[in-house]
Every structure is written in structure tokens, then in C-alpha cells.
Amino acid sequence: MDQLDLFADAEETPIPATFAARPKPARTVTAPPAPRPAPAPRPVVAAEEEPGGLLADPRPELPSVQTPIPAPRQIAPLLIGNPRDAGQRLGEAVSETWHASNWGGYRMDIPVSIVGGLALFPIKGHTEDVTRIISNASDFELIQGYREIYAHTWAQRPDLGARMAPLMGWLTEDGVMEKAYAVRRVTETALRYGILQLTGDPDPWCRSDTDVMSWTITSLRSHGAKQGLGEFHTPPELCDMMAAMTCPEAPEKGMRFHEPAGGTGGMFRALAQHLRHMQLDPADFEWWLNELEPLAAASAAVNAIVWGLGPNVVIACGDTLADGGLADRAAQERKHLFEERDEILGRLAVAEAAHQAMALADRLISSKAV
């Protein structure tokens, strides 16, 4: 079955409509000037009786008072340095900002979703422009922009988009705008700590230097939750060593790599980079990952796109030890998701064509009536 490849040139991908809107900076509100006393009435005279033959008031005109409009906001990212250290700093800063925003850790899906959405932003290679657009968006535009990013991801990769469902739920909840202040603060923190520098390069090689999703999740989790889930961030250096040991020689194209307890995919990141060092394309291989925790599995789906693993990715969520057929069912679901996506988009195309036909008919009828 033909599959739509998300990993085409990102330059051709349109900016989500909301983020592409022209920024509307808030106007600075200043105290109004004191009212000027009305001038005394002047006698009406003929033009020839007015000195100089003019009826205009000879007093100089006062300059008008205008409310200053601030320049568009621009968030200056911190120096990145080592990408792996930068990823850790980003995760810790996002966690600190989220906990300080009065929403607390019981909704850690929201800050993880924000980091994932920024990492998935489809326009790559224009970091400064994207930062300016996002930082100047209104609260509604900001939240709507995250909706559009995940909708765009689903349209391109329904298999991975469906796995990201735990990251999207808050965007459809009632009262979502009540979270706008916390969402903006986390967004600005992620931008300041270099999320777009780490994940916004057109080359997936450069986007695969760190796992920002893992650092964000592990920074948000409490110590007790980490122990209960057995969830810890595997040091990237250890992942690199294990990848080199697993593939000491170049594997054949089409080989399947399977990670039964993959977390956010840190081992896949290291292996993909190892393949690139051997002049191989990760998209030429199959990547199968199982993960018990839904938020980590959703983050692995984000990373599969950010790291450029290609079209042959299967991510299952469940207990690998209790369900031996988990991965195979996920592969079948993946096939059905693509078919469902194609059917939905086909219906939308028909509906749009019908709408355009009705509009054309209305114009023709109107022109004949005239």
C-alpha cells in the first residue's frame, strides 16, 4: 500500500494557518491627557476685518498624543552548547515553569505536549522567524496553533498521530483557554532554552543529537513515580555504546529493529545516528517499539518523526510480557489507520469540491440575474 511520506522536504510544508496570521501586538495603555479648557468664544467678523484676512485661529496647533505601539516580541534563545546538555536543561526548565504556573504536576501531559508540538513544527530551518511568529501569537492563536500542528501530523502520519492521542486530549477539553497563561509560559521557556535549535534543523541528523521528550518527562515525574514505573532516562553515551555493539557492521536494508521496552526511543535515536555514520539511511529499515506507559509511547511517536526514522515505524503501547502479540496487532492497526485517513481526506475533498461547485453556481445565477 502506498504511504504518504512525512519526511519530504520540509521547506514545501505550509505554515499552519493560525501561526501564519499576522501578529497583533497588544497596544500599551497609557493615562489620557488632562482635558484642555475650552477657548472663549470669538466674535464673528468678516474676512476683511480679520488681521491678515484669515479666519483661522492664529494660535499654534498642539501636537496630537498617540498611544505607542510596542515592537513585536522576540525571545532570545540561550546558548545551546552541547545538545545533550541543552536537552536536559530544557526539560528541567519546562518542569520548573510548569510547576510554578499553578497547574502542578498532575497534568504533565500538557507541558510534554507543548514540547512535542514545538518539536514537530513542520517548517524547518527558519528558527528566528518561527520563534517570532509563535511568541507574538495571541492566546487563542497559540492554542489553535498546537491543534493545527497535531492535526497536520495526523494527516501526514495517521499511525504515529493516533499514538500521540495522550498529547492531544487537553486541546479539546472545555475551558482550555483557562490554561492559556501556563501554556504561554511553558512555550516561552521551551523557546528560550532552544527547542527549535535542537529540533528545527532541516537535516534529521542534526535533530537526532538529543531526546528532548525523555528529558521533559523524567524532569516532570516525581521520584516516586519514576520508581513505580521503572522509568529513567538512559544516558545517551550508554545508548551510543549499545548501538555500536548491536550493529558492528552495516546491516542489510529492510532489517527490522525491535525494542520491547523502548520508552521514548532513546536506543533508536542512537542506532539511527550509528547508521548515518555508516552512510546508511534509517528510513531504509523497520523500527518496532513497545512501551507500557502511554505518555512515553506518544513521545516515542514524536521522536520517530523528529529523528527521521522513516515510514516503517510501528509503536505499540501495552505490556509486552503479558501480551506477546502486541506488536503484530499494532502493525495491523497501522494499516487500518492509513486506510481510514485516506477515506476521511477523500470525503473532505469531495465536500470541498461540492462547496466550490455550489459557489460557482451561485455566481453564475447572480450574473444572469443582473
Lowest mean pLDDT among 164-178, 209-223, 349-363: 349-363
Give domain status of residue 22, yes or no: no
Classify residue 27: in a domain, yes or no: no
pLDDT at 172 over 90: yes
Going by the DSSP 8-state scheme, the letter that residue 332 receives in this structure is: H
Q: 55 near 47, Cβ under 8 Å?
A: yes
The crossing angle, in degrees rounded to 10, of helices 266-277 and 294-306 is: 20
Q: What is the pLDDT of residue 72?
A: 61
Are 288 and 252 in contact, with CB atoms under 8 Å apart?
no
pLDDT at 45 over 90: no
Buried b vs exposed e over 229-249: b needs ≥16 C-beta within 10 Å?
Answer: eebebeebeebbebbeeebee
Question: Is 280 a member of any domain?
Answer: yes
Residue 193 has pLDDT above 80, yes or no: yes
The reported pTM is: 0.74
pLDDT digits (tens, 9 = 90+) for 337-370: 888 888 888 887 777 777 777 677 666 666 655 5
Work out the percent of the chain whose per-residue pLDDT is above 70.
Answer: 73
User: Is 228 contained in some domain?
Assistant: yes
Structure confidence at residue 278 (pLDDT) = 96
Indicate whether 153 belongs to any domain: yes
Domain of 208? 83-329
How does DSSP assign 202-258, residue by residue?
A: SSHHHHTS--HHHHHHHHHS-HHHHHHHT--PPPHHHHHHHHHHH-SSPPPTT-EEE
The model's confidence at residue 309, banded by pLDDT at 50, 70 and 90, is very high
154 phi, psi to nearest 5 deg: -60, -40
What pLDDT is attached to residue 49?
Answer: 40
Residue 99 included in any domain: yes
Average pLDDT of the segment spanning 267-274: 96
Q: What pLDDT does 344 receive?
A: 84
Q: Write down the pLDDT at residue 227.
A: 47
Residue pLDDT, tens place only, 48-93: 444 443 334 444 444 444 444 445 666 777 778 899 899 999 999 9
Task: Specify whether the CB–CB gap between 244 and 276 falls below 8 A.
Answer: no
Compute the distance between CA of residue 298 and CA of residue 83 in angstroms, rounded to an integer: 22
Q: Is 138 exposed, middle or buried (0-12, 13-18, 19+ CB in 10 A)?
A: middle
Most confident of 3-7, 43-47, 296-300: 296-300
Average of per-residue pLDDT across 139-146: 96
Instruction: Evaluate if residue 130 carries a pLDDT over 70.
Output: yes
The count of domains in the chain is: 1
Give a yes or no: residue 109 inside a domain: yes
- Structural domain includes residue 32: no
